């Protein structure tokens, strides 16, 4: 009986303590901070993480294992250590309250306050801030540089000062004046500045009108495509060697370039090019390739390639991908899309959606996945040394995986 009474008493006390615990309210839930993006430096001496609540600004914490000190940086997120563990690079977001105030005033997205880039030197905790940064990349296996892409820079026109003493020119003189050259504006289609920043010296190499860029994993090389500035840089794809600090053109021609890719050391590159000037409904995509020793990139596959199934095309909906050892290049191919007859009027087009119970997927699922299905690609591989192409995927085998980081000759369905 004594044991039973002791157990009952213990349960009663536990229930009483549990009942006294305060329930979390909505206000506490939205202020509950979570640890995001925890990362550790390669030498194991530094740890960085962000504390982020559902509402409010994030706080970046940087802890040193040797001293035990923790350093705090307001609004810091997306932190990454440099490969040599000497720097921490992170985004500094604008104050959330300030952004909400601007949105309430119906300020357009382009005029909202943009992110900044923070470069923290860990040895002395000195911090460099760079405004209006859209994205950044810290090389994974080589150090000394950070590459960042700037936001669109608006060019403000200055109004000429009015000279009250000036004499009006005759109409004939106005006609003889040469037209001022239009300044190219930055934008989503024309690109923005790409900056290659040396961490030790702060020296920067700036390239204008860049649309996209990629950084090699283990070699000091950066690949980018630019729409050109009509003077010193023509439209095309370029490779920058950070070690030698020189720029090499891969391909200079008017066109659309996408899906930039490098092998691990940056010694081989690949990209998709749309060089069609006739604006065809289905533009022919060319797969371009470069390796050390070539003067420039070359086309290795396009719509006329013999290895393609009948009427199939090289696709720019999949990024070319080198195997770990650099001996193979994987890329996407696809059948021609079904095109709508542009000669028909709107009221002549029959818009019917058909689903059968025998279909493997529900109609709602099919509708949701329609866009991805239109962009579906099937895997093909180029054996670089042998100059041999092999189609791995097909409509009968749509899903494939690369084995052994792409080094394997077989694909696993």
Q: What is the pLDDT along the chain (413 residues), one digit of tens a residue?
A: 444 444 444 544 544 544 556 666 656 665 678 899 999 999 999 999 999 988 888 999 999 999 999 999 999 999 999 999 999 999 999 998 888 888 898 888 888 889 999 999 999 999 999 999 999 999 999 999 999 999 998 766 555 555 555 555 566 555 556 666 677 899 999 999 999 999 999 999 999 999 999 999 999 999 999 999 877 889 999 999 999 999 999 999 999 999 999 999 999 999 999 998 777 788 899 999 999 999 999 999 999 999 999 999 999 999 999 999 999 999 999 998 877 666 667 776 677 777 777 777 777 777 777 788 888 899 999 999 999 999 998 888 888 888 888 888 655 44
pLDDT, position 342? 65
pLDDT, position 1? 44
Q: Which of 305, 324, 326 lies closest to 314, judged by CA?
A: 305
Q: Please classify residue 94 by burial: count the beta carbons closer than 10 Å to its beta carbon, then call 0-12 exposed, 13-18 middle and 19+ buried.
A: middle
pLDDT, position 4? 43
pLDDT, position 6? 43
pLDDT, position 384? 95
Spell 287-313 as b/e; 16+ CB within 10 A means b: bbbbeeeeeebeebbbeebeebeeebb
CB 19 within 8 A of CB 41: no
pLDDT, position 318? 92
pLDDT, position 8? 40
Cα–Cα distance measured from residue 86 to residue 199, given in angstroms and rounded to the nearest whole number: 9
CB 250 within 8 A of CB 297: yes
pLDDT, position 110? 83
Q: Which stretches within 121-213 are classed as H helix?
A: 171-176
pLDDT, position 216? 97
Q: Which of 54, 66, 129 lies closest to 96, judged by CA?
A: 54
Cα–Cα distance measured from residue 9 to residue 20, given in angstroms and rounded to the nearest whole number: 17
Cα–Cα distance measured from residue 272 to residue 164, given in angstroms and rounded to the nearest whole number: 57
Q: Please classify residue 201 by burial: count the beta carbons closer than 10 Å to its beta carbon, then call 0-12 exposed, 13-18 middle and 19+ buried.
A: exposed
Q: Which of 244, 201, 200 lies closest to 220, judged by CA?
A: 244
Where on the phi/psi map is residue 115: left (φ > 0), alpha (ψ -120 to 50), or beta? beta
């Amino acid at each position: 009986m004594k044991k039973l009474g002791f157990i009952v008493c213990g349960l009663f006390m536990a229930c009483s303590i549990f009942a006294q615990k305060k329930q979390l309210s909505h206000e506490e839930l939205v202020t509950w901070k979570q640890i995001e993006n925890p990362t550790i430096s390669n030498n194991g001496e530094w740890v960085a993480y962000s504390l982020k609540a559902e509402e409010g600004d994030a706080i970046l914490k940087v802890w040193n294992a040797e001293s035990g000190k923790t350093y705090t940086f307001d609004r810091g997120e997306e932190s990454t250590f440099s490969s040599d563990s000497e720097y921490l690079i992170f985004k500094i977001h604008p104050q959330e309250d300030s952004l909400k105030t601007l949105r309430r005033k119906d300020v357009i997205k382009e005029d909202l306050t943009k992110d900044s880039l923070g470069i923290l030197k860990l040895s002395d905790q000195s911090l460099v801030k760079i405004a209006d940064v859209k994205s950044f990349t810290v090389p994974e296996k080589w150090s000394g540089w950070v590459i960042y892409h700037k936001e669109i820079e608006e060019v403000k026109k200055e109004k000429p000062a009015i000279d009250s003493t000036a004499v009006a020119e005759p109409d004939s003189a106005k006609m003889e004046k040469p037209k001022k050259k239009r300044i190219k504006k930055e934008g989503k289609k024309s690109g923005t500045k790409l900056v290659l920043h040396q961490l030790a010296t702060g020296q920067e190499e700036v390239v204008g009108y860049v649309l996209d860029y990629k950084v090699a994993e283990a070699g000091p090389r950066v690949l980018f495509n630019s729409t050109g500035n009509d003077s010193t840089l023509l439209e095309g794809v370029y490779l920058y060697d950070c070690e030698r600090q020189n720029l090499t053109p891969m391909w200079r021609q008017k066109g659309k370039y996408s899906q930039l890719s490098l092998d691990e050391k940056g010694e081989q590159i690949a990209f998709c090019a749309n060089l069609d000037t006739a604006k065809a409904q289905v533009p022919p995509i060319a797969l371009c390739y470069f390796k050390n020793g070539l003067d420039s990139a070359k086309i290795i596959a396009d719509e006329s390639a013999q290895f393609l199934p009948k009427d199939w095309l090289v696709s720019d909906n999949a990024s070319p991908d080198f195997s770990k050892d650099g001996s193979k290049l994987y890329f996407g191919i696809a059948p021609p899309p079904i095109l709508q007859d542009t000669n028909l009027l709107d009221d002549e087009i029959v818009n019917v959606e058909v689903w059968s119970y025998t279909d493997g997927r529900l109609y709602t699922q099919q509708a949701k996945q329609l866009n991805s299905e239109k962009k579906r690609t099937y895997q093909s591989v180029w054996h670089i040394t042998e100059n041999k192409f092999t189609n791995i995927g097909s409509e009968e085998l749509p899903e494939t995986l690369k084995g052994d980081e792409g080094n394997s000759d077989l694909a696993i369905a």
